[in-house]
Amino acid sequence: MAAGIVFIVYVQRKAVATSLQTLLFEGAKSTLATGLWLWLILDSAYGPSRMHDDPEVVRRKVQRDAFASIVLLVVFYPPLGYAWVVAKSKRNHDDVGRANDGGEEAAEPTERAPLLSQEGGRTLGR
């Protein structure tokens, strides 16, 4: 799941995405992050280390889960909400624009540089 989030971020940085594509990317990242968060919570509650009755272990688990919840709410959900608002306003704006200009759309580029090109991106060690 974490690798999926990293891959989506890499693709987002390289591709010129429409507002709908950005919404889909943000939705996928938020879904993967929510899955990781749920896995953390369920592992804390029902995992193999739940047999510890030590108050220090319980306190660390609660702190870790609270921190993960805050990170999820602050880092992943606001960009999803913003992408949704932008996609919605863009769709409404495009509907008005199509009515005014006869329905013609301009072609948009799909990539800034090829994803695996040597000259397009940063490389390690250079």
Residue 17 has pLDDT above 80, yes or no: yes
Range of the domain at 50: 2-95
What six digits make up the tokens of 68? 């993960």
Alpha-carbon span 23 to 106, nearest angstrom:
21
Q: Is residue 64 part of a domain?
A: yes
Q: Is residue 122 part of a domain?
A: no
Mean pLDDT score, 67-76: 93
Q: Is residue 48 part of a domain?
A: yes
Q: Is residue 74 part of a domain?
A: yes
pLDDT tens-place string over residues 94-108? 655 555 555 555 555
Alpha-carbon dihedral of residues 108, 112, 116, 121, nearest 10 degrees?
Answer: -170
pTM of the model: 0.68
pLDDT tens-place string over residues 29-59? 999 999 999 998 888 877 776 666 677 887 8
How many domains are contained in the chain?
1
